[in-house]
Structure 1
Amino acid sequence: MNSWRGFPPAAKPIRVEGGIKARSKRGEIAQTWWSRRFIEVLESFGMGGRLQRGKRYARAGQVLNLTLSTSVVVGLVQGSRPEPYRARIAIKAFTAAEWERIERELAGQALYAAKLLAGEMPTDIERIFDEVGLQLFPVTMRELTMDCSCPDWEIPCKHLAAACYLLAESFDEDPFQILAWRGRGREELLDRLRALRGTVAGPAAKEPDDAAPLSECLETFWTAPEPLASATGPEPEPTVPDALLDELEPLPVKIGNTNAVEALRPAYRAMSRP
């Protein structure tokens, strides 16, 4: 009996069109070493069984939207109710002083700098973080904050689990997302590495006659040059007007039946319109 002991039958999620679907159709979702490492870390916290519940959601395209900013990943996940649930995965970003130590260590080792400048994630980059007393991936559950607006009390619920799997796939596609989550965007990091290694293009770069001889710049010869600036200027990054609200802890205040933070979202979005 579906309603045995008074429990109602499990509600099926509302199917959506145009959601974000996991590329993997069976087996493991994470493909690269760094995304597998992220899933392994979550499983090491005893989340393995609960994470599996979200695979079906991730593959069915129930995640409508997934945004990553410093410290916070927010996913909108369609469940069985008309209003999508808001799943949030937060981690502590490194401070500016901590990133300075990391960048100096990375820049001091040519192989690491070359791989990052080429858009690759060095296989043992975690060692660099260890050497400066930091961890790239969380080592305890206390380093992660997860919450969801659904009524499920388990952490992670299937909505959070689906967001975790799609986050791992985004790490497959762009490993710099991991570093951005920790507080350092791709271009800012690469600019810092170029500056620390003395490869930033300056006025002398426009004057070939004044260029240093090859014998004096062998160490930096193979590093990637800066990309050419677009003639029309860089595209502005899209802004999320209510992203600030995602940084807030859930408030124990309701306006009618709506959480106070959610009630403020329409106002933030309205103020951002032209």
Structure 2
Amino acid sequence: MSIQLRSRRGPIGVGWHAVALRRAIESLLGGSRASGGRADARAGRVAWIDVTRGAARGAVQDSDGELYRPQLDLTPYSAPDREAFLAVARAHPELPARMAAGEYPQLVEKELSAHEVSLLPRGPSELSHDCSCLDWPGPCRHVAALAYVLVEAVDEKPLTLLTLRGLRLEDLVAPAAGTSARSAPSPPHDATPAAPPPGAGDNTPSPEDPTGDSIGTGGSAGTADSTGGTVGNQGEDSGSVDGSAHPSPGFDPSRADPSLLAAVLGEHAAALIAAFYQQGSQDDEPPHPLR
């Protein structure tokens, strides 16, 4: 049993994030080791790969038939880098679904660069390696073969980068502590009847009712809950008189079929994402106008 690369010739990696990872790794490997590792990876010599926090491990069979255990390490986020990444990620509530679908938007990396943070290796200094073979100090061709398998894994599933950096998919959809506007209780409405009785024209509510001022704004300024801004952008016509919302032509996570994500993420994570966006959609629905 071995891993077969999809790439049979030329550079390995198609997506921009996979290409960036490959280039960072190749700057560590050097030309000859990169060439040997690429040949071993395409020959199916990598038996398996396991990605955990900060490390990718595997088994590579050498030409002599012996099995070696290479390891490639990527430094996990420090606490400040983790918070910077999550702040940017939560400003893009569509990011978990896009990453689950095999995309990692370059816009997110551009915004992270302002905080001097990257989900990808920023250079060879963030990478280290080890192997059970005697090719010291390396990196050996077994590490190189493992690296190319990792590049294709990241190309297909960018969530692998989250794992290496010490993050989980749930971290991207969980609201920051104390900053979620959705968790705040609604102001009391007992001073105004929900629906005036027929013929009671004297009880018409004032158009300057303070409880209605913030409903149509799509999220107040200064909130750290990243889900408000995007939902507001998708529903620019949500303040129509009849309370109806016209569908946005863009991606709408609240209408996504959880079964489409389950094959990539598993049922638990897919259900978590679906519940998060569906709840957000319900919270953002404008109230029925008073008549």
Instruction: Supply the distance in 2 between the matched residues of 1:131 and 1:149 (Cα, whole angstroms).
Output: 39
Counterpart in the other structure of 1:204: none
CA 1:115–1:197 in structure 2 vs 1: closer, same or farther (change >3 Å)? farther
Matched, 1:24 2:7: yes
Q: CA RMSD in A?
A: 3.5
Matched, 1:224 2:253: yes
CA positional deviation for 1:115 = 4.0
- Identity of matched residues, %: 28
2:146 to 158, 163, 170: 163
Counterpart in the other structure of 2:48: 65
Amino acid at match of 1:165: Y
Matches within 5 A, 1:134-145: 134-145=117-128
Instruction: Supply the distance in 2 between the matched residues of 1:197 and 1:33 (Cα, whole angstroms).
Output: 33
Instruction: Supply the distance in 2 between the matched residues of 1:131 and 1:160 (Cα, whole angstroms).
Output: 32
Instruction: Supply the distance in 1 between the matched residues of 2:60 and 2:179 (Cα, whole angstroms).
Output: 42
- Runs of at least 4 residues of structure 1 off by over 6 A? none
1:106 to 89, 92, 95: 89
Instruction: Supply the distance in 2 between the matched residues of 1:224 and 1:147 (Cα, whole angstroms).
Output: 41
CA 1:96–1:145 in structure 2 vs 1: closer, same or farther (change >3 Å)? same
CA positional deviation for 1:129 = 2.5
List alignment gaps of at least 5 residues for structure 2.
184-211, 219-227, 235-251, 270-291
* 1:90-134 superposed Cα distances (whole Å, 9 cap, x missing partner): 1211134421222113333xxx44344433311233223222232
2:159 to 171, 176, 197: 176
SS in structure 2 opposite 1:124?
A: helix
CA 1:141–1:220 in structure 2 vs 1: closer, same or farther (change >3 Å)? closer
Instruction: Supply the distance in 2 between the matched residues of 1:118 and 1:199 (Cα, whole angstroms).
Output: 23
* 1:146-168 superposed Cα distances (whole Å, 9 cap, x missing partner): 01111223522111111110100
2:73 to 69, 79, 90: 90
CA positional deviation for 1:224 = 2.0
Instruction: Supply the distance in 2 between the matched residues of 1:33 and 1:228 (Cα, whole angstroms).
Output: 27
CA 1:46–1:55 in structure 2 vs 1: closer, same or farther (change >3 Å)? closer
Matched, 1:44 2:27: yes
Decide whether the 8 Å contact of 2:18 with 2:152 is kept in 1: yes
Instruction: Supply the distance in 1 between the matched residues of 2:78 and 2:90 (Cα, whole angstroms).
Output: 18
Instruction: Supply the distance in 1 between the matched residues of 2:43 and 2:113 (Cα, whole angstroms).
Output: 38
The TM-score normalised by the length of structure 1 is: 0.63
The TM-score normalised by the length of structure 2 is: 0.59
CA 1:27–1:154 in structure 2 vs 1: closer, same or farther (change >3 Å)? farther
Decide whether the 8 Å contact of 1:42 with 1:48 is kept in 2: no
Instruction: Supply the distance in 2 between the matched residues of 1:99 and 1:227 (Cα, whole angstroms).
Output: 30
List alignment gaps of at least 5 residues for structure 1.
1-17, 201-211, 236-274
Instruction: Supply the distance in 2 between the matched residues of 1:93 and 1:147 (Cα, whole angstroms).
Output: 17
Pair member with larger Rg: 2
* 1:183-207 superposed Cα distances (whole Å, 9 cap, x missing partner): 11223323348x967679xxxxxxx
Counterpart in the other structure of 1:190: 173
SS in structure 1 opposite 2:116?
A: coil
CA positional deviation for 1:227 = 7.5
Counterpart in the other structure of 1:118: 98
